[in-house]
């Protein structure tokens, strides 16, 4: 049985400024590219039975720079749809909604095609990805390259927790994490690892 490796894409301008970024396809900053390249030693020497990335350029570029070959894009790995809060910081949201918390309140609808998602919506997508992961893990390690909030929800679901429990797993840019098993049950083995 292989391990599930989770890679958060490298830094972007909005990850630095704290703006919610889902469908806005920003490139990596120079530092983000360096972060992605630095992941290569953590991933080298592993044979992946499945490698998937979000369809967004920042995730695809991170996978390339980290040396992940043969990855396919999977639309279910897309970041949480932030609806009307796309490009808005939590500080700005708190000016009008001081008690707002993404993990319990979700987001209001945004422009057409971006209705926003609740933790449960993201959890359903994470469960679809995990079903694909489960079919590949018997053949080796699996790597997913995606986004912070989505990977946090996916981690919660893998560990048998509710989607909103993703709030417990802070995830930095340009890091790799590893979910493994102990006595046949999913466990968190490494988190936010950098070289």
Is 58 annotated to bind a ligand? Reply is yes
Q: 159 with 152: CB under 8 angstroms?
A: no
Closest alpha carbon to 188 in 150, 160, 164: 160
Q: What is the pLDDT of residue 181?
A: 96
Q: 80 with 153: CB under 8 angstroms?
A: yes
The pLDDT averaged over each successive group of 10 residues in the chain (195 residues) is: 97 97 97 98 93 98 97 98 97 97 96 96 98 97 98 98 98 98 96 93
Closest alpha carbon to 174 in 28, 51, 2, 36: 36
Q: Which two tokens stand for residue 132?
A: 């694909």
Q: What is the pLDDT of residue 45?
A: 87
Task: Give 73-76's long-range contacts (Cβ < 8 A, gap of 24+).
Answer: 74/129, 74/132, 76/125, 76/126, 76/128, 76/129
Return the CATH fold of 4-18+27-78+119-193: Rossmann fold (3.40.50)
Q: 155 with 187: CB under 8 angstroms?
A: no
Q: What is the pTM of this model?
A: 0.97
The domains of the chain are located at 4-18+27-78+119-193
Q: From the DSSP assignment, how many helices (H) and strands (E) are in the chain?
A: 8, 6
Q: Which residues are catalytic?
A: 9, 79
């Amino acid at each position: 049985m292989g391990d599930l490796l989770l890679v958060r894409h490298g830094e972007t301008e909005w990850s630095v400024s704290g703006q919610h970024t889902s469908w806005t396809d920003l490139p990596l900053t120079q530092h983000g590219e360096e972060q992605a390249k630095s992941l290569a030693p953590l991933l080298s020497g592993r044979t992946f039975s499945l490698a998937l990335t979000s369809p967004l350029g920042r995730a695809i570029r991170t996978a390339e720079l980290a040396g992940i070959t043969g990855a396919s894009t999977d639309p279910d790995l897309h970041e949480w749809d932030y609806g009307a809060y796309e490009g808005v910081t939590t500080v700005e949201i708190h000016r009008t909604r001081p008690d707002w918390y993404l993990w319990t309140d979700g987001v209001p609808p945004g422009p057409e095609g971006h209705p926003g998602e609740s933790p449960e919506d993201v959890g359903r997508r994470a469960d679809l990805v995990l079903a694909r992961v489960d079919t590949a893990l018997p053949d080796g390690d699996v790597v997913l390259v995606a986004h912070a909030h989505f990977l946090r929800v996916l981690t919660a679901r893998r560990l048998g927790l509710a989607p909103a429990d993703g709030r417990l797993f802070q995830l930095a840019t340009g890091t790799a994490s590893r979910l493994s098993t102990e006595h046949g049950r999913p466990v968190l083995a490494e988190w936010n690892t950098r070289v």
